[in-house]
Structure 1
Amino acid sequence: MKKTLFILAAALGLLASSGAAMAQPHPGPGYDRPHMAPVHRKHKVWVPAHREHGRYVRGHYVWR
């Protein structure tokens, strides 16, 4: 009898804790990852003239 009550209490506690976790408000857009760091949105950045692999590359925009 005690084992049955213990198992029933554990199951109810598990259901209650999972329900409480589901009831938490969502932090909003931009926080998609589990550790809640903002998602980096790519944008165009101007890169001045430089050399790549020994060759000259004029200034241009890149997505970063």
Structure 2
Amino acid sequence: MKKTYNGIIILILIVNVVMGIVLFQQSVKLTKLELILSTIDAKMEDLDDAHEEDIIPRLEKILNEK
């Protein structure tokens, strides 16, 4: 009977270790994804700024020509 409980406790410990490893790996993946998303966001802001700097003067020039 005592061996059965010991076996169950060992099994629970093994499952907890495996779940801890999986959660750590998922945390690393999420951190990488957050970094990629923040980089994309920064690039989109740069692109928006570039469009504003480029497009607005062009539109003003077109409006002034008429």
Q: TM-score of the superposition, structure 1-length normalised?
A: 0.42
Q: Which structure is higher in strand share? A: 1
Higher helix share: 2
Q: TM-score, normalised by structure 2?
A: 0.41
